[in-house]
Amino acid sequence: MLTAFARAFRTPDLRKKIFFTMAIMALFRLGSLIPTPGISYPAVRTCIDQTKDNSLLGLVNMFSGGALLQLSVFALGIMPYITASIIVQLLTVVIPRFEALKKEGQQGTAKLTQYTRYLTIGLAVLQSTTLVSVARNPGTLFPGCANDLVPSDSWSTIMIMVLTMTAGTGLIMWLGELITDKGIGNGMSLLIFTQIAASFPTALWAIKAAKGWSVFFLVIAIGLVIVGAVVFVEQSQRRVPVQYAKRMIGRRQYGGTSTYIPIKVNQAGVIPVIFASSLLYLPALIAQFQHDKTSDWVVWINRYFVRGDHPLYMLVYFVLIIFFTYFYVAITFNPDEIADNMKKYGGFIPGIRAGRPTAEYLDYILSRITLPGALYLGVLSMIPLIALALVGASSNFPFGGTSILIIVGVGLETVKQIESQLQQRHYEGFLR
């Protein structure tokens, strides 16, 4: 593997792509540390500790690499683009125009990407406005925070802050597309990888400072085991064999080949965890804005759905992840469409009739392979909550939930792309 890395850097064009990707990632991290104009940075630092037990804000802050709570130029991070991508993907099932564009191939995909960009800018304006309003009165979400995060109340200052954060989101989109076009790997995924990985050293050192070297090395060992398990599950798939019949078109013969349909165990990826976290945060958010903090329902929400270490919260979170896993897989994987395409091109599953029986067979396999995938996502997402309940280290425990899924997934995809580049030049890949 080390030899393969050396060969990758000895290849001029591949080395250029790797260095270009690393330069963009470094620029991205630099923008995450530059404060937005109009923000009182010392006052911001006093409020960062208030989010330790806030599940969704901790999740969003992780996606921004800590830039959100520091109110930097890249405070919104990649989250507006992720949200816009999910919305457009879900709308392809609801809006016939989007569904038609998806079937048009590359031209339709380019149009959907353009819609995603427009929606990303719109969400960035909305989220930056909300973030600035919270920064002007942080006590609504973070009790005990100072009220002078934005010393100036002038409209010009507020507009500059909103425009700066929105422009930062647009710049992030551009940087991600640059990596995709001229670098290695998927640009947006690598930027998310960069922001999450940037929080690992701080989190691990905080564990060492709070619990000592013994707990620090224990967490490292547990993390290695978790990473190995995640790699195993993420690479696991059910391969459904497909045979194509021979066809004569003119004087040429087509078909007669064998292939397979790969159905991953974790077909939904990290999306169910994001959906479940967002939905669970809504009651706590509504309760924070209530003036009467002593009402029964507000007290109940604050007791069970704020810290995240209560068994009821864990149970609801686990059930929601399983539900959203099935929901998202049902939307993104259409057995009827796959069966129709196979029938159109003369493909069939051995022992299964083409058409409706093929769709029912694929749905049968999908519904059963999704269950272990949903349980896997639920257990993995419980790791930070269990760490909070046992040792109070949820905010500093990096090996669990969304972060480790993205780190492993993006890492595997990037290694595969570099490996394919090496194989095109008749070199050995990373994995023998």
Q: What is the pLDDT of residue 347?
A: 82
Check which CATH number belongs to the domain holding 67 and give it.
1.10.3370.10
Q: Is the pLDDT of residue 431 over 70?
A: no
The C-alpha atoms of residue 8 and residue 21 are separated, in whole angstroms, by 14
The C-alpha atoms of residue 386 and residue 329 are separated, in whole angstroms, by 27
Q: Which amino acid, one-letter code, is at 292?
A: D
Residue 390 within a domain: yes
* pLDDT, tens digit (0-9, with 9 covering 90-100), for 101-158: 887 778 888 888 899 999 999 999 988 888 787 777 666 555 556 556 777 778 888 8
Average pLDDT value for the chain = 78
Q: For residue 72, what are the domain limits?
A: 14-198
Residue 4 within a domain: no
Residue 420 within a domain: no
Q: What is the pLDDT of residue 60?
A: 53
Q: What is the pLDDT of residue 24?
A: 92
Tell me: do 45 and 163 sit in the same domain. Answer: yes
User: Once rounded to an integer, what is the mean pLDDT over residues 388-398?
Assistant: 56
- Confidence band, pLDDT 50/70/90 cuts, at residue 307: low
Tell me: do 189 and 284 sit in the same domain. Answer: no
Q: Is the dihedral of CA 412, 414, 415, 421 positive or negative?
A: positive
* pLDDT, tens digit (0-9, with 9 covering 90-100), for 30-74: 888 887 887 776 766 666 655 554 554 555 555 555 555 667 788
Which of 148, 176, 198 is at the close of a domain?
Answer: 198
The C-alpha atoms of residue 347 and residue 254 are separated, in whole angstroms, by 12
**Structural domains of the chain, count:** 2
Tell me: do 47 and 97 sit in the same domain. Answer: yes
Q: Is the pLDDT of residue 389 over 80?
A: no
Q: What is the pLDDT of residue 310?
A: 73
Residue 427 within a domain: no
Tell me: do 35 and 178 sit in the same domain. Answer: yes
Q: What is the pLDDT of residue 97?
A: 86
Residue 283 within a domain: yes
Tell me: do 21 and 90 sit in the same domain. Answer: yes
User: Once rounded to an integer, what is the mean pLDDT over residues 283-310?
Assistant: 71
* pLDDT, tens digit (0-9, with 9 covering 90-100), for 413-425: 888 888 877 777 6
Percent above pLDDT 70 for the chain: 78
- Confidence band, pLDDT 50/70/90 cuts, at residue 339: confident
Q: What is the pLDDT of residue 306?
A: 66
- Confidence band, pLDDT 50/70/90 cuts, at residue 407: confident
Q: Name which of 102, 325, 173, 333 is nearest 238 in CA terms.
A: 333
- Confidence band, pLDDT 50/70/90 cuts, at residue 254: low
Tell me: do 172 and 241 sit in the same domain. Answer: no
Residue 216 within a domain: no
Tell me: do 387 and 243 sit in the same domain. Answer: yes
Q: Is the pLDDT of residue 202 over 60?
A: yes
Residue 110 within a domain: yes
Q: Is this prediction's pTM over 0.85?
A: no
Q: Is the pLDDT of residue 288 over 80?
A: no
User: Once rounded to an integer, what is the mean pLDDT over residues 362-388?
Assistant: 84
Residue 212 within a domain: no
